[in-house]
Amino acid sequence: MDKQNIKESNNLSSPFGGHGAFFILFVLLAAILFIRLGATPIYILDEAKNAQCAREMLLRHDFIVPTFNGELRVDKPPLHYYFMMAAYKMFGVNEFAARFFSVVMGLLTILVTYNYSKKLFNPFAAFCACLVLATSTQFLFEFRLSVPDPYLIFFITLGLFSAFTWLKQNSISQLYISVIAFALATLAKGPVALALPGLCLLIWIIWDKKWKAFFTWHLMPAFILLASITLPWYIAVHKATNGAWTRGFFIEHNLNRFSDPQEGHGGLFYITIVFILIGLLPFMSFIGEVIKKQKTVFQNDLVKFSGVVVAVFVIFFSVSSTKLPNYAMPCYPFAAVILGSFIASLLNGEVTSKKYPQYILLAVLCAVPFAGYFIIRYETETLSISWIAWLTAIIPVGFIYFLLINKNTRWQKIISAIVILYSLLNIILLHYIYPTLYRQNPVSKTIGIVRQSPVVLSYKIYNPGYNFYLDSNINKYNSLDSINIQLQQNPDAIIISRKEFLDSLKTLDLDVIAEHRDIFELPTTIILKKHAKF
């Protein structure tokens, strides 16, 4: 055992963490992720389309062609659909089932981060890395959504950790684990799951001069294994759709997203950095101290490799034209390893830190209730419940009280207070505020009316959340003449549309029976019915 590993092994005696502490953290995290998982309606566009697509594939017993509202959906490969279909079989078609395996992926991501970090670094630093993830509001939020990102994040995390272990220890079994993980990640979101991890590993091979391991004959069967897992479905869907899925996915949802902002999700190059800085709070508040103490923080090879991973993802998605908070999230476990290394060193007394990180965090916590109140109050559909934002005020008040009575306390107590208070904030946000807010959406408010009609039509655009709560597809029309023909045949039909098309729809002698703004969005959903004649 070298000197570095001896030093790292000695850190196991820290009173703050260890194997038992990780078990407790894991159980608490599972509770936070699973409790009230189905309380929030399926409403967000991505959630609605992914959850409904899996439902339609299950109803058709089709494992090849993804559809939404009976039309080909080219947005994503099928892995998350398969998991959702399995959950629907187990729990029925509901919100909990749609999100169940997303939570499982989150727990597995934490488990993989801990297990690899404790072997390649030490258990205490691994525990601290998991603390970073377990307190991140964005991390918890993402793994409670019925979207493909939880699956992508987990399999990229597993793939990179195992590939690094292969290069570090020349473990062939880890090479094959990484290949299987990257193959499944490719079935979760496409070629980005190979390109970015591949670039990370190539940079590390050059940096660490691992050419001997790289040129092993095992790469050939590994490549064959990768192809045998990924290619069958891509070939099958290409044939089944006469190439339509292939063109739509690779051109529209890959090349075009990189070259041009899609769906209004653009932004300046630094917005990706801002997403990560906010997304990994509370412990990202220590980033200034991490940079100052980089010589101590980056002594371990795993931490150095983690720095490469973070840099690659940040640079790529900073250059990409389409920018979303979740795009760079596969690098979060590795950013957590870096932050966890610093936190472990801080708690072990190997480094010191100024107190400003706790004041940055206090400023953020103080801003949360005020920002939340004005954002909720500005939205007309949630105006009446804007008071719920003040529930989060207990967190900054608690932190202020803690700081006042512990002016010269040790970092162990401060970190413990941060973990407890931020976990309480996440529980308030995820278990009460978020579900309460999203129950004010137009789908939830009008689905009872919509279900009363045997025929549901839509004009131009409608909220996709309706599909998940209806037993049949919504007939979509783009011309007034086609809508009028349907109304003649089905005078009791319900029409779902948007307010921007109201003037033209009124020419068909229709009454608006419900009107609600899509919360935190620009459009307003309207429900119309043919004017009753007495």
Q: Write out pLDDT tens, residues 114-144.
A: 999 999 999 999 999 999 999 999 999 999 9
What is the C-alpha separation between 377 and 375, in angstroms, rounded?
5
13, pLDDT greater than 50: no
Statement to judge: residues 45 and 67 lie in one domain? yes
Q: What is the band of 178 on the pLDDT scale with cuts at 50, 70, 90? A: very high
Q: Please state the rounded mean pLDDT for residues 14-39.
A: 86
Statement to judge: residues 99 and 247 lie in one domain? yes
415, pLDDT greater than 90: yes
**Longest alpha-carbon distance in the chain:** 91
What is the C-alpha separation between 153 and 132, in angstroms, rounded?
16
499 in any annotated domain: yes
257, pLDDT greater than 90: no
Q: Please state the rounded mean pLDDT for residues 294-323.
A: 91
156 SS3 class: helix
524, pLDDT greater than 60: yes
9, pLDDT greater than 50: no
Statement to judge: residues 504 and 388 lie in one domain? no
Q: Please state the rounded mean pLDDT for residues 61-83.
A: 96
DSSP-assigned letters across all residues of 433-468: IHHHHHTTSHHHHHHHHHHTSS-EEEES---THHHH
Secondary structure element (H or E) that encloses residue 54, with its range: helix 45-60
pLDDT tens digits for range 365-398 = 999 999 999 999 999 899 999 999 999 999 999 9
One-letter amino acid at 148 equals P
pLDDT tens digits for range 195-215 = 999 999 999 999 998 888 778
Statement to judge: residues 420 and 451 lie in one domain? no
Statement to judge: residues 427 and 481 lie in one domain? no
What is the C-alpha separation between 39 and 432, in angstroms, rounded?
9
pLDDT tens digits for range 334-368 = 999 999 999 999 999 999 999 999 999 999 999 99
338 in any annotated domain: no
Statement to judge: residues 368 and 458 lie in one domain? no
Domain boundary among 385, 414, 438: 438
DSSP state of 474: P
Statement to judge: residues 465 and 372 lie in one domain? no
What integer best gives the mean pLDDT of the chain?
Answer: 91
Strand-strand pairing, 475-477 and 510-517: unpaired
What is the C-alpha separation between 225 and 210, in angstroms, rounded?
22
155 in any annotated domain: yes
491 SS3 class: coil
Statement to judge: residues 34 and 116 lie in one domain? yes
Q: Please state the rounded mean pLDDT for residues 150-169.
A: 97
343 in any annotated domain: no
185, pLDDT greater than 60: yes
Provide, for the chain, the percentages of residues in helix, strand and coil under a 3-state DSSP scheme, each rounded to the nearest 5. Answer: 70, 5, 25
pLDDT tens digits for range 474-520 = 999 999 999 999 999 998 899 999 999 998 888 888 889 999 999 88
pLDDT of residue 1: 35
Structural contact between residues 430 and 140, judged by C-beta atoms closer than 8 angstroms? yes
Q: Please state the rounded mean pLDDT for residues 77-97.
A: 98
What is the C-alpha separation between 31 and 16, in angstroms, rounded?
21
Secondary structure element (H or E) that encloses residue 527, with its range: strand 524-530
C-alpha distances (whole Å) from 197 to each of 96, 202, 299 are 31, 9, 22
406 in any annotated domain: yes
Number of folded domains that form the chain: 3
DSSP state of 516: E
Domain boundary among 243, 268, 293: 268
What is the C-alpha separation between 436 and 428, in angstroms, rounded?
11
361 SS3 class: helix
Domain boundary among 438, 457, 473: 438
Q: Please state the rounded mean pLDDT for residues 23-41.
A: 96
What is the C-alpha separation between 163 and 175, in angstroms, rounded?
6
C-alpha distances (whole Å) from 56 to each of 52, 72, 136, 239, 452 are 6, 11, 33, 20, 22
Burial 107-132 (b: 16+ CB within 10 A, else e): bbbbbbbbebbbebbbbbbbbbbbbb
62 in any annotated domain: yes
Per the structure block, which two tokens stand in for 456?
A: 């549901």
Burial 359-393 (b: 16+ CB within 10 A, else e): ebbbebbbebbeebbeebeebebbeebbebbebbb
- The CATH number covering residue 509 comes to 3.40.190
Statement to judge: residues 112 and 142 lie in one domain? yes
Q: What is the band of 11 on the pLDDT scale with cuts at 50, 70, 90? A: very low
pTM of the full predicted structure?
0.93
Token match 């499982």: residue?
104
Whether a cis peptide bond, with omega within 30° of 0, leads into 232 is: no
Structural contact between residues 116 and 339, judged by C-beta atoms closer than 8 angstroms? no
pLDDT of residue 532: 66
Statement to judge: residues 162 and 200 lie in one domain? yes
269, pLDDT greater than 90: no
Number of H helices, E strands in the chain: 27, 7
391: containing domain: 356-438
Burial of 191 (0-12, 13-18, 19+ CB in 10 A): middle
What is the rounded (10 degree) CA torsion for 27, 29, 35, 41? -150
Q: What is the band of 17 on the pLDDT scale with cuts at 50, 70, 90? A: low
pLDDT of residue 2: 41
pLDDT of residue 105: 98
Statement to judge: residues 145 and 201 lie in one domain? yes
Residue 215 CB contacts under 8 Å (≥ 6 apart), including other chains: none
Q: What is the band of 293 on the pLDDT scale with cuts at 50, 70, 90? A: very high
Statement to judge: residues 141 and 204 lie in one domain? yes
82, pLDDT greater than 60: yes
515 SS3 class: strand
pLDDT of residue 19: 76
